[in-house]
Each structure stands twice: as structure tokens, then as C-alpha cells.
Chains A and B, each alone.
Chain A
């Protein structure tokens, strides 16, 4: 049985890691909860509620610091919420083993894309397609590490939107916020600077998680007795992570992100196979 202090500590760490990497915290929380004997579907339901807390806590600071691109976030939300509703509906129906395997697979794919991509620092996309221009996908943000305001524009709105449906599907399915995938789509497909992509992803995660939560709430999978300490731990954790992210350089965020993805991906796949 889980002790309250242990659950609180795990949640503080999950919130911290989630905010640092723009992942939402679920990637740490779900493996730990399942290791403690909680059924994976229940762990997913608790995680997706905690993801709302992490996302809202971090996003409140990012939005006020002008790091988030609200328009890009709000456009992409249309696609992630539909995906999240579909994903949560699938989770309710499928065998737990598939959830472990999918969880591990999503983490490993994210890791591979990040590892094998160009190691250079972020490069702005040279041009902007017509749809992205029509959608007003541009902005600027204050970069504390560089000590100046950086102007940017995003491109590939159509590809970004369809991939976001997939990210939303995974978020609802696995209760993880899928921030890692959203950040990848923002970075690699749409050409957003890493800090803007991480913080915009954080904003989208909250609404996406709420859509998924509605399904889990309707199915009675949310346990307030477990959710309460998790939320109480994850909020201070995410505040700490947020403060650190604003001060750190892009490469440091990325390296940290790589280690977390690798460790968690391997252990979830191993458990999925062992479960069979």
C-alpha cells in the first residue's frame, strides 16, 4: 500500500520533471504508481488529472512571462481535444498490456527522434506557408539566456494540426499530457523555438487533459483519495521546474529530456512484455 509521504515525494519529482521537459509529469507518475500496485487504467486516470494541475501551474507563469504563443496553442487545441476524447475511450476498452507497450513505444520513438536529429541549436524556418501566415503564426519572446527578445514565425500549420490530433490521442490514451510529442511537433514540423514550443505545449496540455479526464470521470476511474496527494505534490514540483526552465539554455533542457525519455521508455516496454 502506498504511504502518503511517499506519494507526495514522487509527485513533487514528477511535477518538476514534467515542467522542465514540458511533458506534464505523467511519464514519471504512471510507471511509479503501477510499480506500487495500482492498476494502470486507474494510474492513467489519476495522472491525467494531475497533468491538468502541472500544466496550469506552469502555464500560468509562462503565459505571464510572454513565452507562450496563445494563437498557435488555441489553434492546435482544436485537434488535440478530439484526439484525447478518442484516446481515453480506447483506454477504457483495451487490455492493460497494450497500454504498457504503447507507453514504452511512445517514449522510445520520442527519444529516437530527438537523438538522431541535427545537434545544432534551433534554426528558424526560412519561409512561412500561406496557411500559417493566414493563421497569424508569429510572435516574439524574451530569452533570458540570450538577454534579448527573439522574433520567430511558425510554418507547416496543416501538418502540425494533423500530428497534434495524434498527440492528443496518445495523451488521452496514456494520461501523459504527451507534451514530449507536442514539443517535437512544434520544434521539428512547425519550427518554433524550443522555449516557445515547450511553453505553448504546456498550455495545450491542460485543455487536452481535461477532455480526456471527462471520459475517465464518466467511467468512475478517478480516485480522489489518490489524486489529492498527487496533486498536492505535483503543483509545487511544477512551480520549481518552471522557474528553472526560464533560466536554462536550450541544449541543457534537451539533454535532460533525452535521459528521462530513455529510462522510462525501456522500463515500460519491459513491463509490457513481462505482463503478457
Chain B
């Protein structure tokens, strides 16, 4: 039987993971809506005509953050940021799980499992 402390820790992890997922999705939605409204207001049509050439998530995020810090905010940048938030959400969820199993719950088995998932995802997100 799991003891009370373990159950409490797991409930804490459930809450954190739940809110990471919710925050990621809501942020994504806000940026996408803002980007689409901007496109609509600027061109009279909500259709966004651009495609992404082959890229990886980390490069994609850095590129868009660079655009913002350089003051070049456009509708397409907002949409990209929204997409970036969405794609990074499951990654952050795995990172948070790894943190919990390693440092809070100190469950060696699950620390290893989540670290493995995190490592594979990190490698795949560097694919180009």
C-alpha cells in the first residue's frame, strides 16, 4: 500500500502537471487568436499564407524570440509563438515529471523512465 505522504506528493504532481498543460494550451490559444485577428484586420482575410521550411523546435523558438526582442512583431510571429507554446507544453510536462520523480518523490525507477523520455524528446526536437 502507498503511504499517505506518497499519495500527497503524487497529488501535488498531478496539480502541477495539470496546470502546466492548461497554461500551455491557453497561452497557445491566446497567441493564435491574436495572430489571426491581426491578419484579418491587416489584410481583410483571416487566412495566413506562409509555410515553415524545415526547422526544429528549439531553433524555431529562438528565431521567434529574436524577432520579438528586435521589435519585429508581426501576425506571423504571434502565430509562431502560439505554435511554439503548444509544442513545448508536453516537453515541459515531461521535464516537470522528471523533476518530481527525481527530487521530490525520489523514485529511482520513475526518475529513470521520465529522464529517458526527456532525453529522447530533446534529441528528436533537435532534428533538422
Closest CB of chain B to A163's CB: distance in Å? 17
Closest CB of chain B to A171's CB: distance in Å? 13
Closest CB of chain B to A123's CB: distance in Å? 23
Count contacts on A: residues with CB < 8 A to the other chain: 48
28 contacts between A and B (CB under 8 A): A49-B86, A56-B24, A56-B93, A59-B21, A60-B19, A60-B20, A60-B21, A78-B120, A82-B120, A85-B120, A207-B93, A211-B121, A213-B87, A214-B125, A217-B87, A218-B54, A218-B55, A220-B51, A220-B53, A224-B52, A224-B80, A225-B47, A225-B49, A228-B82, A228-B83, A229-B36, A231-B32, A232-B33
* Docked complex: B1-35 residues within 8 A CB-CB of A: 2, 10-11, 13-15, 17-22, 24-25, 28-29, 32-33, 35
User: Chain B residue with minimal CB distance to A219?
Assistant: B54
- Given A78-B113, A224-B48: A68 in contact with B121 (beta carbons within 8 A): no
With a cutoff of 8 Å between Cβ atoms, the chain B residues found around residue A217 in the complex are: 52, 54-57, 60, 87, 127
What number of residue pairs across chains A and B have CB atoms under 8 A from each other? 163
* Residues on A facing B (Cβ under 8 Å): 4, 49, 52-53, 55-57, 59-61, 63-64, 66, 68, 70-71, 74-75, 77-78, 81-82, 85, 134-136, 206-207, 209-211, 213-215, 217-220, 222-225, 227-229, 231-232, 235
Closest CB of chain B to A57's CB: distance in Å? 5
With a cutoff of 8 Å between Cβ atoms, the chain B residues found around residue A225 in the complex are: 47-51
Closest CB of chain B to A41's CB: distance in Å? 13
* Residues on B facing A (Cβ under 8 Å): 2, 10-11, 13-15, 17-22, 24-25, 28-29, 32-33, 35-36, 46-57, 60, 76, 79-80, 82-83, 86-87, 89-91, 93-94, 97, 101, 109-110, 113-114, 116-117, 120-121, 124-125, 127-128
User: Chain A residue with minimal CB distance to B117?
Assistant: A77
